[in-house]
Chain A
Amino acid sequence: MKKIEFFDCEASFGLRGFKRENMPTTKEEMLSKFDRYGIDYALMRYEFANNGFIKDGDLELCDVIKDDERLFPMWYVMPHYTGEFPTPEELVALMKEKNVRACAIQGASWTVGEFSCGELFNALGKHKIPLLVPISRIPNGYSGLYEILKNHGDLRVILTGVGYTSLRDIYPLLSMFPNLYISTSTYKAYEGVEDTVERFGAERLIFGSGMPDLSGAASVALITYARISDEDKQKIASGNLKKLLSEVEF
């Protein structure tokens, strides 16, 4: 029997101001947990970019993981208007130069909306660069997400933080917007994976561990024990993400 290959879309490393006991934060600690749980590859975000200095942190990330064949950079992004961060065109050029194929909304207190991110979303959509977005970062939650997706139909959003109580909100959005994907790290409804695959196909779910904030073992078991075909498990575990990353157009 073949082990399912896992490619994690939602993991981060780096020291942080607060961490719980036994929570892995260094790259080495994360890799050792990946080994234990059978996670083969990961897009990695970097805490120094999230909680420190975003542009410096993003660039440093590429350096820190350059020798790790299992790890790929995911940059934090923010609006450029204050001059702290590159303009959307500069960002895409820099991503091309460093071969960074995915990015994530940074976790600070600025507002994710059309007025702040419209240009950024246009650029990411045009180049098919997937964007990791926590639902908690969008004002008005799923209504806010609806507005964003309505304005940016080509933006490939990997939504995180979709909880087991949210299917009534997420199903209409999945049926309306083909470029919306869900990270599975919190997608824990009772046979929610099975039901989503039946209705929308396995293509819309992307394996995310949410490590270290969430349990990696939990995220793996959610997929391996799902009552869906092995082919669909493999799509969710790594196939869908690989496809998205291969479709980025620089």
Chain B
Amino acid sequence: MMKIWENVKYGLPVKGVRIIDAHGHCGDYSEFYNPRKGSPETIVQLLDNMGVECCVLSPNVGFKNDHIRGNIMMAEAVKKFPGRIYGYICLNPIYMDDMVSEIQKYENNPGFLGIKYHISINKTPFTSPKYAPAFEYANEKGMVILMHTYGADALASLAPAADKYKNIKFIAAHSEVGIENVERIAEVVNSRDNFYVDTALAGASEGSIETLVKYVDTKKILYGTDIAFYSPNFTFGRIVMADIDDEVKLDILGRNAEKLFNI
């Protein structure tokens, strides 16, 4: 592979490499000002700007207040940009009675690739029985679930669910938070076939991705940027310019997600 990181210095799209962003958001978010309101149109423009093929998003309104409304918005974005924008079905254990029916609404839509929960908003620990109806259903269907985790403790608290529901492929987000605890993160991820992590993080420190790759099974690391929650540009640069093996980089940028999502 040519030194693709040179493209970052010039702000050029990276061509000839399949890049899949496994963790993003769409739509506006009330907590802070988003200049482009996280619009699907700008998301696709930014993907083109970097040379990213597609991204998998969850609707911000879905976890902030109304998951049903969020999923409708997500379905519209997916329909508008097939093959560029995919969605996660947004669920909330607070409203556990409609979790399965929400999955059923979208599970046959090829634009949806999994389920997303946001624990820092719904404040329901992963060990809570409130998740059970959705986990059981997802386990039967072998679905992917992206979990917002922040730090090694949160990530490790997802392990019992991964052990119980072995057909669900769990992605623990923001795995570089507290990278100093990487050995603990590696222990959880490397010993479970159905446990993945992503790279989305606004404040990653210098050298962090190199450390993650050193300890964590590199087939389980997915490129994710939180696109449209904040800029995707900087995580893109951080991964593409990382001082890691080129084959590992290709796995992280797209090949691992390609296999996981079967796209």
**Residue positions of A touching B, CB distance < 8 A:** 1, 3-4, 20-24, 33, 36-38, 163-168, 171, 186, 188-195, 211-227, 233
Further 18 A-B residue pairs, CB within 8 A, beyond A221-B237, A221-B240: A22-B211, A23-B206, A24-B206, A36-B5, A38-B9, A167-B32, A191-B42, A195-B35, A195-B36, A212-B205, A215-B234, A217-B238, A220-B237, A222-B237, A224-B10, A225-B237, A227-B46, A233-B11
Known contacts A165-B31, A195-B35; is-contact A214 B204 (Cβ 8 Å): yes
CB distance from A234 to the nearest CB of B (A): 12
CA distance A21 to B10 in the complex (A): 29
Q: Which 5 A-B pairs have the closest CB atoms?
A: A221-B237, A22-B207, A224-B11, A195-B35, A218-B234
| B38 and A4 contacting across the interface, CB-CB below 8 Å | no
The number of chain B residues with a CB under 8 A from chain A is 46
CA distance A33 to B206 in the complex (A): 9
B124 adjacent to chain A (CB < 8 Å): no
**Residue of B203, B233, B238 touching A226 (CB-CB under 8 A):** B233
| A37 and B207 contacting across the interface, CB-CB below 8 Å | no
**Number of residue pairs across A and B with beta carbons under 8 Å?**
154
CB distance from B195 to the nearest CB of A (A): 22
Contacts of B209 in A (CB 8 A): 215
| B230 and A218 contacting across the interface, CB-CB below 8 Å | no
B235 adjacent to chain A (CB < 8 Å): yes
Contacts of A171 in B (CB 8 A): 33
| B234 and A222 contacting across the interface, CB-CB below 8 Å | yes
B247 adjacent to chain A (CB < 8 Å): no
**Residue of A22, A166, A226, A233 touching B210 (CB-CB under 8 A):** A22
| A21 and B241 contacting across the interface, CB-CB below 8 Å | no
B49 adjacent to chain A (CB < 8 Å): yes
| B231 and A219 contacting across the interface, CB-CB below 8 Å | no
Q: Convert B59-78 into 0s and 1s, putting 1 for each residue whose CB lies closer than 8 angstroms to a CB of A.
A: 00000000000000000000
CB distance from A43 to the nearest CB of B (A): 17
A-B contact pairs, 11 of them (CB 8 A): A3-B9, A4-B11, A21-B211, A167-B32, A188-B230, A189-B34, A213-B205, A217-B5, A217-B240, A220-B8, A220-B241
| A164 and B32 contacting across the interface, CB-CB below 8 Å | yes
**Residue of B211, B228, B231, B242 touching A188 (CB-CB under 8 A):** B231
CA distance A226 to B229 in the complex (A): 16
Contacts of A163 in B (CB 8 A): 202
**Residue of B5, B33, B180, B238 touching A189 (CB-CB under 8 A):** B33
| B231 and A215 contacting across the interface, CB-CB below 8 Å | no
**Residue of B9, B11, B46, B233 touching A37 (CB-CB under 8 A):** B9
Contacts of A220 in B (CB 8 A): 8-9, 237, 241
B187 adjacent to chain A (CB < 8 Å): no
